[in-house]
Amino acid sequence: MFGTLKPGSHLYVLNKGENPSLSIGQVLTVSSPRPKMAQGQFINPVMPMEQVMDFTVKVDDDTKTFTGVSPSATTLDTGTGGYFVSEDRASVSAEVDAFAAISQSILNSTPYHRKVVERCKQMAVELNPSLQKEAERDQEIVSMKKEIEEMRSSIGEVVNLLRSAVNGGGSNNVKKTKE
């Protein structure tokens, strides 16, 4: 439980951001538990208030401060692209497995989403005739580029044949001239 943390304690810190990584951090500071107060909330002396605390952890060459943490919690997940923090190796291992499974699921669904995007483009063209004209023009441009590339290749072959003929590698019907 985070309520038992002391400076010097070690925590597993899983960075689920752009470059995921796992580090073992060292607790630098721990605040005392305090009542969790929502803005505009009145204190009810009959109902016990939820307690929260803050702690700061040195992770690699950086420090991270986690605020509003329940002292009775054993894990902390700051959300998508954030951090998962725990004292327990098994909890972090389960989170790593879940993190990988989510990403694998997304990768597995890529072909489906490509099809959806392609079909949506086709439906948009069906719904908007001007898009159809643009699509036809784009297709015509692609076709023309291909034809131009084929013509370049053919012209290159003709030029090579002419060079070969002029340099004596061709038939005897072509005369060399001196300038």
- What is the average pLDDT across 58-65? 92
pLDDT class of 135 with cuts at 50, 70, 90: confident
pLDDT class of 136 with cuts at 50, 70, 90: confident
Biggest CA-to-CA distance, the chain: 113
User: Three-class SS of residue 128?
Assistant: coil
Whole-prediction pTM: 0.62
Q: Of 3-17, 27-41, 83-97, 139-153, where does mean pLDDT reach its minimum? A: 27-41
Q: Cα separation of 21 and 1, whole Å?
A: 23
- List the Cα angle 9/10/13 in 5-degree steps: 140
pLDDT at 70: 92
- What is the average pLDDT across 162-175? 70
pLDDT at 176: 53
